[in-house]
Amino acid sequence: MSDIYDLIVIGAGSGGVRASRMAAATGAKVAVVEDMFLGGTCVNVGCVPKKLFVYASQVRGHIEEAAGFGIDARQNSFSWNTLKENKDKEINRLNGIYETLLEAPGVEIVRGKGVIVAPDTVQVGERKLATRRILIATGGWPFKPDIPGADLAMDSNDVFAMKDYPGRVVVVGGGYIAIEFAGIFNGLGSDTQLLYRGDRILRGFDDEIRDYVTQEVIKTGVNIRTNTDVERIEHSGSEYLCHLNDGSTLACDAVLMATGRKAKTEGLGLENVGVETRQDGSIVVDGSFATNIDGIYALGDVIGTPALTPVALEQGMVFVDQQFGEGKRSIDYDLIPTAVFCQPNIGTVGITEEEACECYPGDIDVYTSEFRPLKHTMTGSDERTLMKLIVRRSDDRVVGAHMVGEDAGEIIQGIAVAMQAGATKHHFDATIGIHPTGAEEFVTMRSVVREH
């Protein structure tokens, strides 16, 4: 067998694993290089453990709501160590599955830091691996602002390994990671403050959705403070003091900096071969994931496309088809559904109302439905749900669908399929709803609430 690999993948996250094993399944000689854990951010310190923690944080609310259904229930205690240990068991199980997924088609797993020393060579420790193609799939890494005391704060990776559970938490940031962790801490019993330097959380989402979810999250007990930033953190006895931009201080037991992520490209040796990167460190690629250097490719979070696991998975499939298959596959970034597992959830697919006004001025109808879910007529909770459709009037095409409410992600996934198929508002109107569900509201909205 040739000592030259057909493909070396640096990074065994979602995109890297998918590309590695699918390439190996075609008969290619493939190695994947990883210096941390198999499965990447999503499996180990991202969407999977975070969703498990979301489930845990919802239990207290379910217990409190039980009285409305005649059930006498109460939470006797909460063990952070038990939750963490059970989470670790599940992640270890998934690591084993990923190892099997790679080994089954013959992918060689090389443990260590991969450094590109030439366009056709990757060095791992003392080994130099020759290859016809290099695929960089190293993902992203949490970023902390450069302020005094930033090292005293956790990032999103650190939360999953906390030794002690904090009674008071300050979460800094306004993106989906910040709002999700604020809900987790609040649900598990922490006094939770969310500080964001901007005037609205969740930049990039539909403005109406942003405002609505803010009021709903505040109802759950999270204190959201906008136009507020941390300028300095100091350790004072057994607590931390956050010095804010208004001159005040905020004491807490833990600070989480959920202030964004950056492409993990440092130390890869990109400068050795001249791979072009952006100012934020992300790698510049074309539509075939090729960099400016022949034989070197990149995909996933490291190239600045939407930082979502399913996007990296699809990119991996497209890359393998283009390099080892028929070359017929491509990826469309226009209708990517996504969910934010704050409490209540957000689900969204397509463009926002603001984007629609810019893309199709004078041609937009907006439909909304806002209501109290049936369940909460018994629980006494004042949580409410918002659903929204954005329609291009000239051809009746649904160009955006958004929801704030329980199981929003589960509901929006099906709507995303319909929108990929070109669904019109007439198709929604002609669809018979499932009663009684919240989802049926998407097919019963008849009145235009705004025209643009």
- Is residue 435 part of the annotated active site? The answer reads yes
- Cβ neighbours of 37 (radius 10 Å): 17
DSSP letter for each residue of 58-101: HHHHHHHHGGGGT---------HHHHHHHHHHHHHHHHHHHHHH
Q: CA of 390: how far to CAs of 60, 110, 339, 353, 365, in Å?
A: 35, 48, 18, 7, 6
Chain mean position to CA 302: 14
175 Rama class: left (phi>0) / alpha (psi -120 to 50) / beta: beta
Rounded distance between C-alpha atoms, residue 266 and residue 143, angstroms: 13
Burial class (CB in 10 A: 0-12, 13-18, 19+), 152: middle
Quick one: tokens of 309? Answer: 């696991």
3-state secondary structure of 280: coil
Which residue out of 376, 426, 427, 435 is catalytically annotated? 435
Rounded distance between C-alpha atoms, residue 372 and residue 346, angstroms: 16
Nearest to 353 by CA among 408, 391, 393, 403: 391
Q: Which residues contact 434 (CB under 8 A, 6 or more apart)?
A: 440
Rounded distance between C-alpha atoms, residue 417 and residue 133, angstroms: 34
CA dihedral (24, 30, 36, 42) positive or negative = negative
Quick one: tokens of 379? Answer: 């629980």
Q: Which residues are catalytic?
A: 435
